[in-house]
Structure 1
Amino acid sequence: MHTDERYPIGKYEPKPFSEEQKQEWLKAIAQLPEELEIEVQHLDAAQLNTPYREGGWTVQQLIHHMADSHMNAYIRFKLGLTENKPTIKPYNEKAWALLPDNDTVPINVSLTLLHALHKRWHATMKDLSQADFEKTVIHPEQGRELSLWLLLGLYAWHGKHHKAHIQALKDKMNW
């Protein structure tokens, strides 16, 4: 565990393509919804509305953020697989986290969405070749091409990253 509350598992570090790494990251994508559900299943409304760190999002916002982020990731993958170097649409994740649905919609809606989304996403990726993962999308804010391989690793990390935020909060609060 890292001491920086913002990055409890460290920052994402890209790795070269290997079949073993692909299987590890695909497994992380496949298992995330169930793992998240287990992490939050006994939390009450007050606990769900507790920020994971000072100035950070609440557990509820984290769950909704993961649904938002991973929906965008799924679309980015589909675009990358079906178009030649498409420019992806960035979004303001901080502004999205402050929209009213994050406070009014129960987290089980986003957990259900994540279950369905990750099933589709995993099915899309599980049989892709190295050449498929070398396809790229263009991120206009970063001004560079991102391979689908880089994105697979990033989003496998992303799920673990936010799950670790919830785990760290539960440990700190002795829940």
Structure 2
Amino acid sequence: MNLDELKYPVGKFIKPESITKEIIDSAISEIENFPSLVKTEIQNLSEQDLHLRYRPEGWTITQVVHHCADSHINSYMRFKLALTENVPTIKPYEESLWAELPDNQLSSLISLQLLEALHARWVYLLKTLSEEDLNKEFIHPEQSKRISLKENILIYSWHCQHHLAHIRQAKKLRFE
């Protein structure tokens, strides 16, 4: 496997030309199922296994789980901002630096519990969005572009698949 295949085991996100209700519903389902899929993948791992990496110099399984909690909290807040403000500019964050903070030394089960609660609220919110809501946008300053909520649902469905694949890859390839 080359480095790009290791970094992007499900490929990079590609926005569909048309975002239908069926595509959105499927993406919401992916987001809804993510915490239970992560739980299945990590619940019986040893502490040593949780420190396996999905690629050389990549994050450990524990760091991936903590990253997902951090990232999904930020995404949830971005949805709320876009729903309550007129095209807000969101605040980016340094995910690689967040991954090095001391709270990433905690058990990955802490972040799994956070993901379970967060996704319950997030999915409830996503399932209530009207077509008008789905078209609301925020500005991502790093990309200098407007992102609609319906596109962001797809981005985070991909994000769930992407990091679930990282966990599975770490278990299979066993980089230390």
Post-superposition shift, 1:169?
1.9
Aligned match of 1:33:
35
Say if 2:10 is the partner of 1:4: no
Q: Distance in 1 between matches of 2:131 and 2:30?
A: 18
Aligned match of 2:159:
158
Counterpart pick for 1:64 among 60, 63, 66: 66
Q: Distance in 2 between matches of 1:163 and 1:92?
A: 21
Post-superposition shift, 1:172?
2.2
Find the residue that maps to 2:128 and give its secondary structure: coil
User: How many residues matched?
Assistant: 172
Q: Distance in 1 between matches of 2:133 and 2:15?
A: 17
Counterpart pick for 1:53 among 47, 52, 55: 55
Letter in 2 for 1:131: E
Q: Distance in 2 between matches of 1:127 and 1:101?
A: 33
Q: Distance in 2 between matches of 1:69 and 1:34?
A: 17
Post-superposition shift, 1:154?
0.5
Post-superposition shift, 1:168?
1.4
Contact 2:54 2:173 in 1 (8 A): no
Letter in 1 for 2:99: A
Q: Distance in 2 between matches of 1:139 and 1:131?
A: 20
Post-superposition shift, 1:8?
0.3
Letter in 2 for 1:152: I
Runs of at least 4 residues off by over 3 Å: none
Q: Distance in 2 between matches of 1:127 and 1:25?
A: 14
TM-score, reference length from structure 1: 0.94
Counterpart pick for 1:74 among 73, 76, 82: 76
Letter in 2 for 1:134: N
Contact 1:64 1:102 in 2 (8 A): yes
Contact 2:137 2:148 in 1 (8 A): yes
Aligned match of 1:112:
113
Q: Distance in 2 between matches of 1:23 and 1:142?
A: 26
Q: Distance in 1 between matches of 2:23 and 2:145?
A: 24
Contact 1:17 1:130 in 2 (8 A): no
Percent of aligned pairs with the same amino acid: 45
Q: Is there any run of 5+ residues in structure 1 with no aligned partner, and where?
A: none
Letter in 2 for 1:48: L
Contact 1:134 1:148 in 2 (8 A): yes
Post-superposition shift, 1:12?
0.6
Bigger Cα displacement from structure 2, 161-170 vs 87-96? 161-170
Letter in 1 for 2:131: Q
